[in-house]
Structure formats: structure tokens, C-alpha cells
Amino acid sequence: MEAVWYADRARRRGLARARADYTVAEYAQALGRSARWVKKWLRRLGQAPRDDEAVLHSRARARKRPPPAVPPPVVDRILELRDAPPDGLRRVPGPRAILRRPGRIARRRPRRHEPLDPPPPLTSWQLDFKDVTTVPGDPEGKRGHAVEALNCVDCGTSLLVWTQVRADFTEETALAAVAELVQEHGLPEELTVDRDPRFVGAPGARDFPSPFVRFLTCLGVTVRVTPPDRPDRNAYVERYHGTYNRECLQVDRPATLEQAREVRAWLGRSRL
């Protein structure tokens, strides 16, 4: 990977010399990198000499200075509290208990959860892929995510609306599956998906936004894309995936595509 990163940085420096009039967004699109990455290396390359090759190497992330030492009186006091715990504690105190007594660590306030008002039934759906992890990968082909289920859950009822199991989910086949979904069950008002490239495409690609987003938008469906690392914004389908994994995949343990489709067919009958 270091060789690939080195090549990307060298391309960045060459492109900066050839096209000094580019904006950060244009550099990011030309290199297939994020704007944050472009800004970071624009700063580093600007601080180094023009032909310095060392600047293209990765920097070590190890500590440059040793961590500060704990004063001996503090160590003695901690050991004293652990050897002779305060009355009523009934256990050997750890770091949090020791520091909370003098108020050095504030207790976390209880989080107040406000109940959400569910939307009307069949107006808001959530869609996501679930890897059928019990199906082994092909040593000569697709090793990971060999078989996947594309699941659609209704937010108003928490019911599984539709599911499809395939071994060849791509941007094209995912779009065809969603076309089948809306043909069978109609159109919701909004559909929530994560940032899977098969849903939203790649920002640097020519077909951005993706055909998936354009298809649903032309049908009048609002497509909501969750932020990065926020599965809670797709909570209904993520919750279903947990149940699907515990009660189906880990119980029946399908080992082939056909067996995974049999489990899906059983789910469909039980849902009805």
C-alpha cells in the first residue's frame, strides 16, 4: 500500500505543477481522492523543497515525546487507597472510583431518549444490504460478501416489506431489484439508504449522482442518504438485520445461495 500512496502523492505534485489553476475540488476529482486529502498534501508539498522525495513518504505516527510521568506522591496515594479502601465501598477502587471521589471525573448524565413518532405505514422505507456470512466465499472468485440479501423495512410498521437474495449485487442489479420492489409494492414517499456505492455511486465518477438516485427521484421518491458511520439513521433495517442474523442465519446456517433463498422464502411466508 505504501507504493500506491507514494504514487498518488507523486501524481498530486505533478498535477499541481501542470495545473496550478485547479481548485481543491478539481484536484480531488482528477485524483479520485477526498478534498481533505488534497488539502493535507497541498500543505505538506508546499512546505518542502521542490524536488524533495522524502516528503512523499508516510510519516510515522509514533510518539515523538514520552508520556508525562506520574508524580510519586500521586502513585503513593493511589496505592494507599487501593490497599485501604474507604468504608462502605466494599471493593478495591479503580481509577474512576478514586478520581470521582474528589470530583475530578464528572459522572455522565443519563441520556434522555425522546420517543420518535413513526411515519404513516408504507410511506417511509429503509433499504440496506445484509451479508449472508454463513455462505463461504469462492477461493477463485468473490471471497467476501459472496451472498447478500437486499432488505426493505417499513418505518411505520417495522415490517419487512421485501427482500431479495443474490450473489451478484452490483449497481446495475441493485437498481433492477429496486425496480422490482416498487413494481410489486408501489412507491413510498421517501427511501433511506446508506453510502454504499451501489446506492449512491462515487463522487468522482461521471454518472454521479447514481442511476439509483436518479431513478427514484424521477419517480417522485425522496432519497435520504445517511451520514458516514451513522447506522442509527437507518435503524429500522439495521434492527431487522440483527434479528435476521440471530434467528435465521445462525440457526439455519445456509451454506449456499439456494439455501439462503429458502430461508428468505420462509421469512416471506411467516411475515404474511
Please tell me the predicted confidence (pLDDT) of residue 270: 45
Domain that holds residue 44: 2-56
Assigned domain for 190 exists:
yes
State mean pLDDT over 186-204: 89
Vertex 112, ends 109 and 114: CA angle to 5°? 170
- Residue-wise pLDDT tens digits, 3-39: 777 777 788 788 777 777 888 888 888 778 888 888 8
Cα distances from 61 to residues 44, 53, 56, in angstroms, run 16, 19, 15
User: Is residue 86 situated within a structural domain?
Assistant: yes
Per-residue pLDDT at 221: 95
**258 plus 178 within the same structural domain:** yes
Highest mean pLDDT among 76-80, 135-139, 237-241 belongs to 237-241
Note whether 129 and 257 are same-domain residues: yes
Q: Is the pLDDT of residue 102 over 50?
A: yes
Distance CA 173, CA 111 (A): 42
Domain count, the chain: 3
Q: Which of 74, 105, 136 is the last residue of a domain?
A: 105
As a whole number, mean pLDDT of residues 176-192 equals: 95
22 & 87 share domain: no
Q: Residue 148 pairs with which residues in a beta bridge?
A: 131, 166
Q: To which residue does cell 512546505 refer?
A: 47
Question: Looking at the domain assignment, is residue 85 inside a domain?
Answer: yes
Q: Which of 31, 56, 81 is the last residue of a domain?
A: 56
pTM (2 d.p.):
0.58
Band (266; pLDDT cuts 50, 70, 90): low
The answer to whether residue 114 sits within a structural domain is no
Cβ 58 vs Cβ 43: under 8 Å = no
What does pLDDT average to over the chain? 83
Give Cα separations from 14 to 28, 40, 152 (angstroms): 14, 16, 46
In the chain, what percentage of residues exceed pLDDT 70?
Answer: 87
Same domain, 136 and 246: yes
Q: Which of 260, 240, 238 is nearest to 134 (CA)?
A: 260
Q: pLDDT-based confidence at 272, cuts 50/70/90?
A: very low
Q: Is residue 118 part of a domain?
A: no
213's grid cell: 438516485
Secondary structure (3-state) at 88: coil
In a domain, 117, yes or no: no
Q: Are residues 202 and 262 in the same domain?
A: yes
Does residue 105 carry a pLDDT above 90?
no
